[in-house]
Amino acid sequence: MNQLNLVTYDGQLLVDSREVAEMTYKRHDHLVRDIDNYVKVIDQNPNLGTDDFFIENNYRAGTGRLYKHYLLTRKGCDMVANKMTGEKGVLFTAEYVTRFEEMESNQPRVLSDKEQLMASMKLSLETSEEIGEIKEKVSTLESRFENELTLKHAQAQALQHSIKKRVEQLFVDGVMGVLESKKQMYSRIHSQLRKAFQTPTYREIKRDDFDEAMQWVNAWRPL
């Protein structure tokens, strides 16, 4: 069994589903199918986010055609491993646990570009004679960066609660559209919300767009 390779994406360690399939001697399309099913179930729970487990992505094959794959977090690896039995499951679990612990212990704290810029500005503030002017620049930068941040935890929870409330309301009122079940409604509203705000997950909606996202959810109807 080859050593598992981890990648860093958006500050977290992830493993490619293609590597997981290779290590567990499973066809990749079958693994993707299984993860698709896990994602559908997770989307039904308003207290869970699929991006905490699996991040959908695409890769281009040698033919030039795009195929879907997933990037798995440690939680995602746990879920896949829990569905496996026998020697393959034991070896995969031992390998990913070991690799995650190695990477987490060796991974230095890297400042983002924004954090480096803010640190530089604050250092200049301490040594510059034009303190008033620099303070104003720092305040402007902090305000701009704040507007670019994603939803706070409380906002994400409020948005997820509104999604649940909207689905329940439409389901009770019998407004189903082309959908046949509440499960399909949850999947559809999450998918369309992500497309509407052009984010991989609802949690990455910009804070400035929170009110607009809430209005979108409250007005949503299944097509």
3-state SS string for 124-154:
HHHHCCCHHHHHHHHHHHHHHHHHHCECCHH
Q: What is the pLDDT of residues 61-87, one digit of tens each?
A: 888 889 999 998 888 888 888 887 777
pLDDT tens, position by position, 76-130: 888 888 887 777 767 777 777 777 777 666 655 555 666 667 767 666 666 655 6
Distance CA(167)–CA(171), nearest Å, equals 6
- Residue 104: its pLDDT value, please? 64
The pLDDT of residue 37: 92
At 174, is the pLDDT very low, low, confident or very high (cuts 50, 70, 90)? confident
Q: Is-above-0.85 flag for pTM? A: no
* % of the chain exceeding 70 in pLDDT: 78
- Burial class (CB within 10 angstroms; exposed 0-12, middle 13-18, buried 19+) of 104: exposed
Q: How far apart are CA 160 and CA 155, in angstroms?
A: 9
Cβ–Cβ < 8 Å for 13, 72: no
CA 173 to chain centre: 32
